[in-house]
């Protein structure tokens, strides 16, 4: 009976979190204009952390303990280096280079590229998403169940978070040419993206728990996304030569 009572609040918390995330995901991908992306996502992250604090989640469970920032920095940097190396290898190898062709990385000039690399990706994407998923959401779920369950649920929701972005960008890289207008292939591509980003969520959660700091997954997330963006620009430039 006690387990059933405990499972009830946990399930309700997960459903509420999923509904809130779905609502904000639709807004940020369909309503919020591009110039407002960074402040809007950071504001959403701040509200998520504030809601978790109002639910009495300790700062330590949000990954915001000041005494763990140094460890978070070390773990994050240590994880970032091999991740960037993997991205660089993928862009350099002929077998995988074509997957780095992305119109988003080449459609704008150098100034916008620097903005994406140094501001939009690290703050609007990495910091905001990590605060939401590995900070507020993971912290709330840790209060209501086991660590394994909290990691699994937050990572699954992180995967679902990427459904709309995947649909929006299928035509911007070689995946779109393979998918075409086939609904089955489109669904398969979306499921693959959800699975891949959920797996990334597991890795980011591991970093968060290992470092006991949100800084570790923020650095790793920013390193992967920013290096992939830069790699796409370099691949496009080399193809034009």
Given this model, what pLDDT does residue 1 score?
Answer: 37
Given this model, what pLDDT does residue 184 score?
Answer: 78
Given this model, what pLDDT does residue 168 score?
Answer: 83
Distance between CA 21 and CA 160 in Å, rounded? 9
pTM of the model as a whole = 0.91
Given this model, what pLDDT does residue 3 score?
Answer: 39
Given this model, what pLDDT does residue 239 score?
Answer: 67
Given this model, what pLDDT does residue 62 score?
Answer: 96
The CA-based angle 205-47-71, given to 5 degrees, is 35
**Which residues of the chain are modeled with pLDDT < 70?**
1-11, 13, 173-181, 239-241
């Amino acid at each position: 009976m006690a387990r059933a009572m405990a499972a009830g609040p946990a399930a309700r918390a997960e459903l509420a979190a999923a509904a809130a995330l779905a609502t904000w995901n639709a807004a940020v991908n369909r309503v919020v204009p591009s110039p407002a992306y960074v402040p809007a996502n950071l504001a959403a992250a701040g509200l998520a952390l504030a809601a978790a604090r109002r639910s009495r989640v300790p700062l330590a469970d949000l990954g915001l303990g000041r005494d763990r920032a140094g460890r978070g920095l070390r773990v994050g940097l240590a994880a970032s280096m091999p991740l960037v190396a993997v991205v660089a290898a993928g862009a350099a190898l002929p077998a995988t280079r074509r997957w780095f062709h992305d119109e988003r990385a080449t459609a704008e000039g150098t100034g916008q590229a620097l903005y994406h690399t140094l501001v939009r990706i690290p703050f609007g994407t990495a910091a905001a998403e990590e605060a939401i998923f590995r900070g507020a959401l993971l912290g709330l779920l840790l209060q209501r169940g086991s660590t394994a369950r909290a990691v699994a649920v937050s990572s699954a929701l992180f995967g679902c978070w990427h459904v709309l972005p995947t649909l929006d960008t299928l035509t911007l890289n070689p995946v779109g040419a393979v998918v075409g207008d086939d609904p089955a292939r489109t669904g398969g591509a979306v499921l693959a993206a959800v699975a891949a980003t959920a797996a990334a969520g597991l890795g980011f959660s591991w970093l968060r728990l290992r470092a006991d700091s949100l800084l570790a997954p923020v650095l790793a997330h920013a390193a992967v996304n920013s290096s992939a963006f830069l790699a796409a620009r370099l691949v496009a430039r080399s193809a034009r030569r």
